[in-house]
Amino acid sequence: MKFALSTLGLPGTPVDDVLRLAADSGFDGVELHSRPEGPVHPGTGTAERARITARSAEAGLTVLSVAAPVRAAGGDEDGPVIEELGEAVRLAADLGAPYVRVLPGGGALPGNAFPGGGAPPAEEADVVAARRLAAVAPEAADRGVRILLETRGSHPRGADVARITGLVGHRAVGVVWDPAHTRHAGEEPHETLPVLAPHLGYVRVKDSAPDGEAAAAGDAAPPPGGAAVPPLRAAVRALRSHGYDGWLCWEHEQQWHADAPGPGPLAAAARNRLAELADGPAA
């Protein structure tokens, strides 16, 4: 397997520092968070996009994905969402990234009201997201980019996102799996992966400890609010049993927990932990 460092939990970190940290820690790639305060965003100019691409190559890193805050089923109108999706695809293509990660954003989440008020039923949210993703899929395919819908929020289980990708029916639309979200929704990795496998682009993992084991730096504590501990070991075992040899993308949790240690001391240890699990037994 290959290992990427996500900038989602590194707000405000300059892109050159991200690339240096990823390379020094032994990662193979980076997932770049696309927001105005992030390392890249749709307003990033052509020259800067080219510079980041060149610096990534010099560091021996792949830009794995642009993690865009687009909510495929969110908002009232198709047009703005489709435009956001297109901008994210073009940004990824300019950076040489094979993937764009987007969010479902449907259902009863705040800010996702549809005309007439309230939130759409799941079936309507599925159709809305599929329609918008299908509108951008041909351009994504032409540019060599896949749009991946993450398992989270209104669609946290494998079957939830698979309904949408099934409706789209285009190879340029797939899934990014976060095992923490699927477990929190009541699914274990051995249940989720068979559903997601035909659609899977890559896998995002947290830096808390797997299945009660020691994490890269110290023992895991249950996340605040009683959320399930991310099932890292079980997820990697399931991936190995299915012959998966793709990307694991590590997200540092500092953005969400003010008392979390900085990424510097943890990044190399986390990468080594992922490699240890990836090389371990599948059963």
Q: What is the DSSP letter of 10?
A: -
Determine, yes or no, domain membership for 72. Answer: yes
Instruction: Work out the mean pLDDT of the chain and round it to a whole number.
Output: 85
Determine, yes or no, domain membership for 283. Answer: no
Q: How far apart, in whole angstroms, are the C-alpha atoms of residue 42 and residue 86?
A: 10
**pLDDT tens readout for residues 13-71:** 899 999 999 999 999 999 999 988 889 999 999 999 999 999 999 999 999 999 999 99
A 10 A CB-CB count for 231 gives: 23
The beta-strand segments (E) located in 44-152 are 62-71, 99-103, 146-150
Determine, yes or no, domain membership for 22. Answer: yes
Determine, yes or no, domain membership for 203. Answer: yes
Count how many domains the chain has.
Answer: 1
* Predicted TM-score of the model (pTM): 0.87
Quickly state the pLDDT bin for 261 (edges 50, 70, 90).
low
Determine, yes or no, domain membership for 163. Answer: yes
- Report the run of H or E that residue 173 belongs to, with start and end: strand 173-177
Percent of the chain with pLDDT over 90: 69
Range scoring the smallest mean pLDDT among 93-102, 162-171, 222-231, 269-278: 222-231
Q: Torsion angle, CA of 259/260/262/268, rounded to 10 degrees? A: 160
Q: Which domain range does residue 177 map to?
A: 2-278
When computed from its CA atoms, the radius of gyration of the chain, rounded to whole angstroms, is: 18
Q: How far apart, in whole angstroms, are the C-alpha atoms of residue 10 and residue 20?
A: 13
pLDDT in the model for residue 113? 39
Determine, yes or no, domain membership for 160. Answer: yes
In this structure, what CATH number is given to the domain that contains residue 125?
3.20.20.150
Distances 258 to 9, 253, 254 between C-alpha atoms, Å: 11, 9, 6
